Amino acid sequence: MEGPNARGTIRRKGQITRDKTVDTRSNAVRFGSFELDLRTGELRKESGARIRLEGQPIQILLLLLDRPGELVTQEEVRKKLWPDGTVVEYEHSIKTALRKLRRALCDSADASQYIETLPRRGYRFIASIEGVLPTGPTVETNRASSRVPPKGWRTGRRAKAGLLGAAAVVFLAGLTMGGYRFLRHTRALTQTDTLVVSDFVNATGDPVFDGALRQGLTVQLEQSPFLSLVSEARIQGTLPLMGQPSDTQLTPKIARDLCQRVGSVAVINGSIASLGRQYVLDLKAVECRTGDSLAEEQVTADSKEQVLKSLAQAATKLRRKLGESLSSVQRFDTPIEQATTPSLEALQAYSLGMKLLIGKSEFNAALPLFKRAIDLDPNFAAAYSGLVLTYLNLVETDLASKAAEKAFELRSGVSQAEKFLIEASYYEFVSGDLEKARQTCQVWSQTYPRDHSPRGFRIGIYAGLGQYDRELEEAQANLGLDPTSALGYGGLAMSYLTWADLTKPGRLPVRRSQKTSTRLSFATASMSWHSSRTMRRKWRDKWPGLLASQELKT
C-alpha cells in the first residue's frame, strides 16, 4: 500500500506489525498518552514534553512494541540487549531496565496498563498502539523511486486500475476502522451514573502518597455536581460480599469488580511514579463492564510539593473529558491544596480518619487521626469537620460545637460542597438557628441534587422544628440517594417512633398508611434506635430545642 519497502501495516485495531528491523521511515507510534519517535528513540507525552529514557529501557520498549500483544521471552530480551553473547547477570539487569521503563510510563507490575509480566516466561505489551504514518519527504522518495518501477510492477491502465482498486480498499478499510472505533467509543457519562475511585498505584516507594492522593482526587471530583462517587461506606460494605476484607486496597481490578457489583459505570484509576526529581501522575477513567477507556489525563509535577497542585489540574481536565460542562468545571474548581491542605502528611492522616469514620464507624480510632491532621495543618477546615462528626457520634457535644465553630471560621478557602457541610453543622449545632440550617441545606440540595448529605441534615432539622412529616420525607429521600445510609434508617426510626403510639419498648412503630412490604426496613431501624437510647438522651440534654418533642417512650 505504501510501496515495496514499507514494513509498517495495520494488522488489527491499534496494532502494528513490522519485520524484525523497525522501519525508520515510520514517524512514530502512539500508545496511551505517549508517543515514541522510531527514528530518534525519543519518548514524549501527549503534551509534547520529552521523557528522558535511553539505553536498555528504550531497547526493551522497541522490542515490545514490535510485537504488541505477543509474549517476548526473557531470552529474547537478553539477545536484544546483549547480541554479542556478553556474559552478564542479565536477569537483574533486565529487571532494572524494566523498572526504569515502567517508571517512565507511570506503570506498575501489579496493575499493568502497558507492560504485563508473565512470571518465569517474559513480558507482553498490552496497550493499544496506533501507527503514525510517514509524511511529505517519504512520499517524495516513493515518487522518485517509482520512475524506475520494480520488477513485476504493472504500468499503464492496468496499473492505474490496480492502484485505484488498492486505494478503494484502503479507503474502505479506513471507514471500517473508523466505524469500528466509533461504535466502540464509550458513551459519555450522564447525571445518573456513578463512579468508583480506586487506590493510586504508587510506584515511587514513598508511603506518604498512599491514601493521600485518592483522598485528594475524591475531594476534587466531589466538587462536581455532575459526577457522583460511590461512598466509602458502600465500598466497605460491598467488599465483604466479594469475599474481601472491608479495608482491602482498591486495586484497579478489585475496583472494577466492585464497580460492576454496585451498578456503577466507571472506575477512576490513578498512578504516580517518580522520574528523577519529578513525579508523573496518570488518571484514567475505565468503563467497568468493557474495560474500555473513557478518558485519560497525565501531568508532571516538578517536585513533591507540587504533586497535589498537579493532581488538581489533571482532575479538572478529566472532568471535562468525562462530559462535565466548562461552566460547571469553572464554577466548582477549588484546588485540592486549598480545599483540603497543602500537606501530604496531613491529607494522609485525614484520609485514614475518614475511612474509619465513614466506612467502619470506628470513632475512637478516627479521632487521633483528625487531631494529627490538624496538628500538621492548623488551618485544615475539613479536618475540623471530621472532628465534628466524630465527636457527635461519641456524644461529646461540647467538643463537637467547638470543632464546628473552628471549621466555620476557616471555611472561606474550602470547596463549595465542603462549605455547605461546615455551615449546616454550625447553624444546627453551634448557633442553634435551625431555620438558617434548613435554608443552607435547601441550597445545598439544589446545587448537589445527587448528594444525600443535605437530606441527612434535614432529618434532624425538621425533627427539631416539629415537622415530623417532613422528617419522614427527608429520611426516605436520603435512603433513595444512598440505600446504605445509617442516618437515613435512623431518621425513619425516629420519625416512626414519634408518629406511633408505643405502649412498651420493642414494639414495631409503623404508621397505618405505610405499606407492609417496607415494615422490615423500619424494624431494622427501630432495633438500631433502641440500642442507642442513651445517646439520644445525651443529645436531648445538650440540645433540648433540637429534640424537645422527641420524648423517649420507654
pLDDT in tens, the chain (554 residues): 333 333 333 333 333 333 333 343 446 788 888 888 876 778 888 767 788 777 788 888 888 888 888 888 888 888 887 776 654 567 777 888 888 888 888 888 777 788 988 887 888 888 888 765 444 433 333 333 333 333 333 444 444 444 334 443 433 344 333 343 333 444 567 767 899 999 999 999 899 999 999 999 999 999 999 999 998 888 988 999 999 998 899 999 999 999 999 999 999 999 999 888 899 999 999 999 888 889 999 999 999 999 999 999 999 999 999 988 889 999 999 999 899 999 999 999 999 999 888 877 889 999 999 999 999 999 999 999 999 989 988 888 889 999 999 999 999 989 999 999 999 999 988 998 999 999 999 999 999 988 888 988 888 888 888 887 888 888 888 888 877 777 777 777 777 766 654 344 554 444 433 333 223 333 333 333 333 434 444 444 544 443 333 333 22
Using CA atoms, how far apart are residues 11 and 27, in angstroms rounded to an integer?
18
Q: 32's torsion region: left (phi>0), alpha (psi -120 to 50) or beta?
A: left
- 23 close to 134: Cβ distance less than 8 angstroms: no
Using CA atoms, how far apart are residues 439 and 432, in angstroms rounded to an integer?
13
Nearest to 468 by CA among 512, 500, 441, 442: 500
Which residue is it, cell 484502503? Answer: 170
0.75 cut: is pTM over it? no
- 3-class DSSP state for residue 409? helix
DSSP state of 230: P
Cell numbers standing for residue 505: 419498648
Element (H, E) at 117: strand 115-118
- The 3-class SS string of 235-279 reads HHHHHHHHCCCCCCCCCHHHHHHHHHHCCCCEEEEEEEEEECCEE
- 514 close to 488: Cβ distance less than 8 angstroms: no
366 to 146, 350, 354, 410: CA distances (angstroms) = 75, 9, 7, 21
- pLDDT value at residue 187: 53
- 429 close to 392: Cβ distance less than 8 angstroms: yes
Using CA atoms, how far apart are residues 153 and 168, in angstroms rounded to an integer?
19
- 220 close to 169: Cβ distance less than 8 angstroms: no
Cell numbers standing for residue 193: 451514573
- pLDDT value at residue 69: 82
Write out the E strands in 13-74.
Answer: 15-17, 28-31, 34-37, 43-45, 50-51, 72-73
How many C-beta atoms lie closer than 10 Å to residue 39's C-beta?
12
- 281 close to 307: Cβ distance less than 8 angstroms: yes
- pLDDT value at residue 131: 67
Query: Could you tell me which residues come within 8 angstroms of residue 326 by beta carbon, excluding any fewer than 6 positions away?
Result: 320
- pLDDT value at residue 24: 39
